[in-house]
Amino acid sequence: MPNSASCSMWVVRHGERLDETAGVNEWLRKTPRSRRFDPPLTEEGGRQATVAGKTLSKLGLSFDKVFVSPTMRTLSTAWHVAEQLGINEMVVVPGLCACAAAAVQLGLERLELLTIEEMKALCPRITISIAKKAPSTFMGACSWVAAQGHQAAQSASSSLRGSPVLVVSHREGIRDLMGRNLRLPYCAVANFTASAADPLHGRVGYRFHVVLTAAGGRVLLGQSSPSVEEMLARIRLSDGAEAATRAPDAPDGAAPGDGPAPGPSPGNPAEDRPPSGRSKGANGAPARGDGRGGRPRGGSGG
């Protein structure tokens, strides 16, 4: 990205995962050990993803494609979000999974991910491709995604011109971009401005603006952005949806009923990890990634 380039990046955490529910034992009995890092989305998780997609639509956002981590829960979440936004293209970026604790512990290259055929079966009626040339680290993958958004915006023939970028990933990824270990509900929606912080080395800075619940309730506000404030006002004025569906604001925690707080879960006793030490950015300061990031220790991932 050139030094003057910037891109609005919306990052959605996946919905409820099966191994964090009462159905975990039955799922474990049926699932090979090599695939236990990759639980599917629950029916409730699909509902949460649908609500998040509707919230993005109420914000007045539109996207031609969604960039997604290759796990089952993120793929299914992206599919439900895409259905609400009329998106017909999904780009699978393996490095967007590298922030999850299972990838940190085992190494992304050792994970038995779905094949492209299995991804297409899981997510029908949408075009799916794999970004094989994207970096394999999380911050590197985010920089690559931001560059795609910038290049598309500069192309006069591109329908992405002026559009933000949509990513579906994991809570650890949002934490790494923010540079803080914030409690995040399922299908939390976070907004950042991605801009070239060190174009010589391909580094991108991420300035945090807001985290919302799936239904549009504010979890945490970062650096003020007139465009984001305008979008939030649009939600407040839309069809009385706020009064009907929004959870109470939680200044620094998960909204009630939107998913578990960080901490060990029955299906994943060592699930959480702190944000990457490379990220800097609490209270709206930039968090930078150069695509080489280290791998902090952690559990199976959120």
Dihedral sign from CA coordinates of 70, 73, 76, 82: negative
In angstroms, the CA 101 to CA 275 distance is 11
Query: By the 8 A CB rule, do 10 and 166 touch?
Result: yes
* Annotated binding residue 13: no
Looking at beta carbons, which pairs linking 181-184 to residues 24 or more positions away fall under 8 Å?
181/262, 181/274, 181/275, 182/211, 182/219, 182/220, 182/252, 183/219, 183/250, 183/252, 183/253, 183/254, 183/261, 183/262, 184/13, 184/211, 184/219, 184/254, 184/259, 184/262, 184/302
- Contact partners, residue 268, CB within 8 Å, separation at least 6: 19, 20, 299, 300, 301
Work out the number of other CB atoms within 10 angstroms of the CB of residue 194: 27
- Contact partners, residue 226, CB within 8 Å, separation at least 6: none
User: Is residue 271 classed as helix, strand or coil in its secondary structure?
Assistant: coil
Binding residues for substrate: 73
- Per the annotation, binding residues are 73
